[in-house]
Structure 1
Amino acid sequence: MKHLQDKKALFIPGLPRCATTSLVNVIGQRNEIGVGIQKEPHYFIPAKDKEKIYSFDGRKKTPFQKLGFCETESSYIANYKMLVNEEYFVDASTLYSAYPESIKEIAKYFNAPKFVILYRSALSRAYSHYLFSKSRGEEYRDFQSALNEEVEGVTSEWLLKGYFAGSRLTPLVNEINEIFGKESFLIIDIEKSDLYSKEVLSAIESFLDLDSIDYDFAIYENGSTSLSNPLLRWIRKVLKKIRQLNPELIDNKVTRKLFNFFMSISPKAKKNNSELSSVSYETKKLFKDLDDENRELLQKYASRVVC
């Protein structure tokens, strides 16, 4: 791990579906910041959790190790083998937020990592995550059923933990604060601030002790959760399955650029929030409680929040 320990570590550990891809594609334009072959290697998820089921398609379950994440230290190092003179390397594994124990694993290797944490309201984040999983053939339930099963503990062995669990800031931030201190993290509320604004980018540059530069915002944002054409949706799922066959061979910068190009030119489906509008009152109350918990945390660490 010395190749990486000689650099500064920048982690963007979630929350999922909070513009992580966009942020990486913007700050990754800097010469000082190196992005790996896989944006989300997920290496530091505790070993006991890596065998959990990643995908539910209603018929079969896809094991975690087939999804292209870095399973071993050597594969994690290889993920950044192209980095040479960069000051930072970036690990943008959003599932670290669902597994705050990952921070203890990170501490075994890095003394003073930096964390940029992205946040949005719980219900909108959860629904975006649900649509994203569904568009990739990894979710077969309707939204309300998925939430009900999470509350009932039906999918307790699911690697994602669930849509409620994926919306919680408190465990992650408190763990980072306890191990590395509050100066080690910056929280960005993407609903109250423009990720591409000078205010946000300046805050990130200051946090990383980097000079201000101009960025190209014509980037792939991973923002679409559904393609309008059934054939294109099928092609996308096939591409995902191909990646699972041999991630180390197939998942690289070239194939990612080709996939991003495919997504950028493919017609997108219009947004349909019918499932969101039919969420039960009891469920909305659970999300409101989550938002209240998150807001309390943001107030506690107000000096570390950009909004």
Structure 2
Amino acid sequence: MNKPNLFIAGFPKCGSSALHKMISQHSEIYGDSFKEIQTYTVDRKYKDRFNPNFKFSYPNLYSQANGEKYLLDSSTSYSVNFKAIERIIQDTPEAKFIYILRDPLDRLISHYLWMCSLGFVEKEFKAEIESDLKNSYDYRVQYWGNYKNYVYHGNYSFHLQNLFSIVDRANVLIIDYQDLKHDYSTVVRKIFDFLGLEQEAVKQIISNATKKGYNPKTRSRLQVAKYRASRLRDKLKGLPVSPQINHPLKKVVEVQLDQAVFLKDIMAEEIQKTQDLGISTDSWRSTHALVNG
């Protein structure tokens, strides 16, 4: 029975959408179904994952697969949901996992800007993050399929420790975001080697990039694209729409490095714990600048 055995599990805002599209070009990887399937996170989907009468079941999602060695699921919620990992291993003990690690401060800011651009943030950066730190992660608490929990989603060491407790590290490949961004061909070759596949040429994909102008040295502004909600409301009048459509014209959002000082201890701890797992943090320039500044 068709079911996924290859997972780009995360992390959010780390390039998983682009990587999904890139490696899906390989003849032995089927990734044409929805990227964010969320089967192992959402209880209803998990319960009916093999039910052909359920639209989002595996028989339907992978109905066009034609004998490929790997069926791909790139739901980033799996990276922060240990229950989902347990479910995956129960279904597919030999599953392969790919994780992309990005500078955690850059990732957090990108996550914040993303939620701002969707119209789900009213508070300034520090107030928003501090308020959100009080909230425990719950996949049911979402914003039209999008999540906050900014720090939690970048707590790599915690989530990877959970992963390694039930998954052989030989079945886990960790990719550095900067390598994916600047040397994608080497990263793709590394992935195909990890999967035991013949090398095939793939085109570079850039996807879901959050617009920004952040630089830890120049403290330049981070910007979010603006749109006029009134025009959209006129065009979509009478149709069910996402609540962000009713959000007023958004201002340019600014985040400067000194505004993140309150995160210094959290980031310092993440550096140390990630290094303790044998994972390099050399490319985390923004986070190191914050911690050492």
Q: TM-score, normalised by structure 1?
A: 0.69
| More deviation, 205-214/285-294 | 285-294
Deviation at 1:36, TM superposition (A): 4.1
2:174 equivalent to 1:176: no
2:156 equivalent to 1:185: no
Q: Which has the higher helix share?
A: 1
2:220 equivalent to 1:223: no
SS in 2 for 1:293: helix
Q: Take 2:23 and 2:137, find their aligned partners in 1: how far apart are those partners?
A: 35
What residue identity is the alignment partner of 2:57?
Answer: Y
Change (3 A) 1:13 1:276: farther
Q: Deviations over 1:140-175 (max 9, x none)?
A: 332212211123x14655453611100012233223
Q: Take 1:113 and 1:16, find their aligned partners in 2: how far apart are those partners?
A: 20
What residue identity is the alignment partner of 1:283?
Answer: L
2:113 equivalent to 1:117: no
Change (3 A) 1:41 1:227: same
Q: Deviations over 1:24-69 (max 9, x none)?
A: 111111121111431011111263xx8xxxxxxxxxxxxxxxxxx8
Deviation at 1:280, TM superposition (A): 4.3
Q: Deviations over 1:69-101 (max 9, x none)?
A: 888414231222222222211111111112122
Q: Take 1:233 and 1:168, find their aligned partners in 2: how far apart are those partners?
A: 38
Q: TM-score, normalised by structure 2?
A: 0.72
Q: Take 2:259 and 2:97, find their aligned partners in 1: how far apart are those partners?
A: 33
2:117 equivalent to 1:135: yes
Q: Take 1:76 and 1:242, find their aligned partners in 2: how far apart are those partners?
A: 26
Q: Take 2:2 and 2:28, find their aligned partners in 1: how far apart are those partners?
A: 15
Over the residues paired in the alignment, what is the CA RMSD in angstroms?
3.2
Change (3 A) 1:17 1:116: same
Deviation at 1:107, TM superposition (A): 1.4
2:164 equivalent to 1:167: no
Q: Paired residue for 1:34, among 25, 30, 34?
A: 30
Q: Paired residue for 1:274, among 244, 254, 275?
A: 254
SS in 2 for 1:115: strand
Show the counterpart of 1:207: 194
Deviation at 1:128, TM superposition (A): 0.6
Show the counterpart of 2:57: 76
2:266 equivalent to 1:286: yes
2:98 equivalent to 1:98: no
Deviation at 1:299, TM superposition (A): 3.8
Answer yes or no: is the 8 Å Cα contact 1:155–1:161 preserved in 2.
no
What residue identity is the alignment partner of 2:201?
Answer: D
Change (3 A) 1:155 1:114: closer
Answer yes or no: is the 8 Å Cα contact 1:12–1:20 preserved in 2.
yes
Deviation at 1:296, TM superposition (A): 2.4
Show the counterpart of 2:11: 15
Q: Take 2:178 and 2:269, find their aligned partners in 1: how far apart are those partners?
A: 18
Q: Take 2:227 and 2:15, find their aligned partners in 1: how far apart are those partners?
A: 26
Answer yes or no: is the 8 Å Cα contact 2:115–2:148 preserved in 1.
no
| More deviation, 189-198/138-147 | 189-198
Q: Take 2:176 and 2:102, find their aligned partners in 1: how far apart are those partners?
A: 6
Give the number of the structure with larger relative contact order, counting CA–CA contacts within 8 Å between residues 6 or more apart.
Answer: 1
Show the counterpart of 1:249: none
Answer yes or no: is the 8 Å Cα contact 1:168–1:294 preserved in 2.
no
Q: Deviations over 1:126-146 (max 9, x none)?
A: 111111122123333322122
Percentage of pairs with the same residue: 21
Answer yes or no: is the 8 Å Cα contact 1:14–1:118 preserved in 2.
yes
Change (3 A) 1:109 1:234: farther
SS in 1 for 2:10: coil
Answer yes or no: is the 8 Å Cα contact 2:110–2:210 preserved in 1.
no
Change (3 A) 1:273 1:134: closer
